[in-house]
Every structure is written in C-alpha cells, then in structure tokens.
Amino acid sequence: MPVRVLILEPFPGQRWRSITRYADGLEASLHLAGLHVVRAFAPWWNPPAILQGIRRRWWRALAVRSVTSGEFDIVHIADHALAHHAGRFKGRARVVVTVHDVLAKTMPGYFRRPLGPLKRTFLRHPLGRLGDAELLLAPSSFSREAVLHEWPSVDPSRALVVPNPVDPAFQPMERRQAESALREFHIRLPERPRVLSVGHDGTYKNLHALLEAMQWPGLGHACLVRAGTRLDPRRFPAVRLLAAEGRLVELGPVPDQVLVPLYAASDVLAQPSLAEGFGYPVLEAMQMRLPVVSSDGGALPEVAGSAAVIVSLAVPDFSATFARAIAALLEDAHLADRLREAGAARAAAFSTEAVGRHLLQAYRSMA
C-alpha cells in the first residue's frame, strides 16, 4: 500500500499565492513519487480565519477525521502559519511542517503598519508550536539556517532542505505566441524592452530600488511591467513619473494563464528583494527561459545559482548597479542567450519529479 499523505493548507482566499503554488506542487510531486495524497483546509491563527474555520467546521472534514482512525501515515502542514494544528495530529500520524521562511519574525517592516504588530503577534502562536512536528522542511538552506538560529532547541537532524517544485505549466513559448495569448486578455505591452516584476508590494520586495533603477538614464528606453499588487503612488512616488512617460504597465494580480505568456513576452525579470525564503518568480522565469537579474537577498542566489545576474545588496549604490545589470542584459544578446540556457538547465533541478524524490527521502528520515 502506498504511503498516505494528508496536505493541510490554508482556506482558499486566505492564503498567499505562493502557498497555493506550493500546495499544488507538493501534491503533484507526491503523486509522481507514487504516494496517495488528499488535501484539506485549516484556519490560520487570527480572528477572521478562526471564525471561518468554526463556520466551516474544518475539524469535521472527512479527511481530517480520518487521521484519527489511522488512514493517513503523514500529515504535511503546507504553511508554518498553520503549525498550531500540529498537536491535533501528533501521535496519530507523522507530522511534517514546511517552514517557508521566518522573515515575519526577523525582517523589519515585513508587516506594514498599523496592523503589522498585531499580525506578528498572531503568528507567534503557530511558530511556537513547531516543536510538535516530527520533521521541519525548509525550501532553502537560508530558511533552514534561520529556523535553527531562531529556535536553537530544534534538532538539526529534524530540519531538512527540500526545494519547492516549479509548476510544469511554465513552459517556454515564442514571443509572437505569447503576445497573441495576452491579447486574448486585452493586454498589449509597449513596443520597447520590457522589465518584468512579479509579486506583492511588501517592504522586503525592495520595489523602491527597482523604481529608482528604472529612472537610470540607461534604462530610459525600457518599460516596467508589474504583475501583482498595484503600486500606490503615495508609497511609491516614482510610479507617477514612469506612468507619465508611458513606461509603466500595471496589470494587478493575474492568473497563470496570463503570467505564463507574460514571462515569455518580457525581456528581463527583475527581483531586487531584501530577502526571500525561496523566490518563485526567479524559478518560473528560468524555466520560461527569461533572463533574470536578482539581488543576493536571502535564498535568491541559492535558487538561481549561476543562471542569473546577481547584484549584491551591499554595493554602495544598489539601484544604479541593478539598473546597469538590467541594461547589460537588454543590450548583450549573447549574455541573454547564455542565461536562457543556463536558467532552463537550473530549473530542471526543481521539477516535480526531482522534488518528489527529495520528499520521499525526507519522509523516510522519520522511520
């Protein structure tokens, strides 16, 4: 009989997109590894989520109740913000928690005011229950080391690195095909070099630096394409200038049917984050053969390897250096082609098949 795994994830509509991406990839990887997988939902530790959980009686879901009768070998909690549920399953199945990062605990400004302190307080409870898990998985060595630093009582043998899988839906396509697909969603990008930025507008994403970079004279011919949270001009004054020059395309959050051709229709992905526990856009761009310029924040150089241009956050003028790196890729076709090939090769290490093998090895470590 195959190993039976219950994936516990946040309720739809409450989870960050990266958590959805992870849960989908986790399911696909485990299926390919020959395991039996079922998914269920549970609430985060905050009043709105708890109330939703009570209304939905999440603990009465068939899959959740089946753990008590021994129908699952492993409960894999897909988000460390749900770790407070680990105790419910402890002793009934082996409990695994994925700790994506601890930036909420270590990164100043991770949560914006006025609710930032409150959100950090709510997160304290689930993080305090990580010890109820038999195994902690981190998507990068950066995140694993942060866990061991913040919780010295964690046995290092119980904290393993298993990278996040890349969604196989992100497959290269010709630019003409990509632009045709975007037109079906009424999206027409400017006929100028396109610098793509993907994600929300959190402080640690360092978007102020990217907007400064886009004002560098050497990038005056390029436009910034944003997929994710729209940038508020009150927080990002440079938005008005780029928009007035016709060099900003704000698409807001987009589904994968748009994101895939958006990668294919762009010239460079820009990821200037101060830190990341992993960095899905970098991985997705590499699989799409889109050249990447990234900071060395957190796990980004670990994910990209030598398949991206990495700019150190410690350089005296990060924004100008980052801008020059983008310009070099836009101007040097040979460099761009080399990174396309290197990125595709690098992304293969994060396939669902490869990650499935890592997961099996991690699960077996609990035997």
Print the SS3 string covering 138-161.
ECCHHHHHHHHHHCCCCCHHHEEE
pLDDT at 109: 76
What are 72-92's pLDDT values in tens digits? Answer: 999 999 999 999 999 999 999
User: For the chain, how many structural domains are there in total?
Assistant: 2
Question: How would residue 16 be classed by pLDDT, with cut points 50, 70 and 90?
Answer: low
In a domain, 133, yes or no: yes
Given a cut of 60, is residue 350 above it in pLDDT? yes
For residues 114 and 129, give the distance between their C-alpha atoms in angstroms, rounded to a whole number: 26
pLDDT at 18: 85
Given a cut of 80, is residue 64 above it in pLDDT? yes
Residues 267 and 156 in one domain: no
Mean confidence (pLDDT) of the chain: 94
Report strand pairing: 135-138 vs 292-295. Answer: unpaired
Residues 233 and 277 in one domain: yes
* Average confidence (pLDDT) over 356-367: 95
Residues 157 and 237 in one domain: no
Report strand pairing: 4-10 vs 74-77. Answer: parallel
Given a cut of 70, is residue 14 above it in pLDDT? no
Residues 235 and 302 in one domain: yes
| DSSP state for residue 202 in the 8-state scheme | -
**How many Cβ atoms from other residues are within 10 Å of residue 80's Cβ?**
27
What are 318-330's pLDDT values in tens digits? Answer: 999 999 999 999 9
pLDDT at 344: 97
Residues 213 and 338 in one domain: yes
Indicate which CATH number applies to the domain containing 214. 3.40.50.2000
In a domain, 248, yes or no: yes
User: Which carries the bigger pLDDT value, residue 239 or residue 121?
Assistant: 239
Which run of H or E residues covers position 55? Answer: helix 47-56
pLDDT at 63: 95
Domain enclosing residue 220, as ranges: 175-349
Residues 203 and 64 in one domain: no
In a domain, 119, yes or no: yes
Residues 86 and 112 in one domain: yes
Residues 326 and 271 in one domain: yes
Residues 141 and 188 in one domain: no
What are 302-318's pLDDT values in tens digits? Answer: 999 999 999 999 999 99
For residues 329 and 338, give the distance between their C-alpha atoms in angstroms, rounded to a whole number: 10
* Average confidence (pLDDT) over 270-281: 97
Cβ-count burial of 156 within 10 angstroms (0-12 exposed, 13-18 middle, 19+ buried)? exposed
In a domain, 289, yes or no: yes
In a domain, 170, yes or no: no
Given a cut of 90, is residue 13 above it in pLDDT? no
Given a cut of 70, is residue 115 above it in pLDDT? no
Given a cut of 80, is residue 28 above it in pLDDT? yes
CB of 276 closer than 8 Å to CB of 200: no
Residues 146 and 135 in one domain: yes
Question: How would residue 107 be classed by pLDDT, with cut points 50, 70 and 90?
Answer: confident
What are 289-300's pLDDT values in tens digits? Answer: 999 999 999 999
Give the chain's length.
Answer: 367
For residues 118 and 47, give the distance between their C-alpha atoms in angstroms, rounded to a whole number: 11
Given a cut of 80, is residue 153 above it in pLDDT? yes
**How many Cβ atoms from other residues are within 10 Å of residue 217's Cβ?**
8
Give the SS3 label for residue 80. Answer: helix
Residues 143 and 273 in one domain: no
Residues 269 and 343 in one domain: yes
CB of 308 closer than 8 Å to CB of 286: yes
DSSP string, 208-244: HHHHHHHTSGGGTT-EEEEESSPPPTTT-THHHHHHH
Given a cut of 70, is residue 278 above it in pLDDT? yes
Question: How would residue 341 be classed by pLDDT, with cut points 50, 70 and 90?
Answer: very high
pLDDT at 15: 54
Q: Percent of the chain beyond pLDDT 90?
A: 89
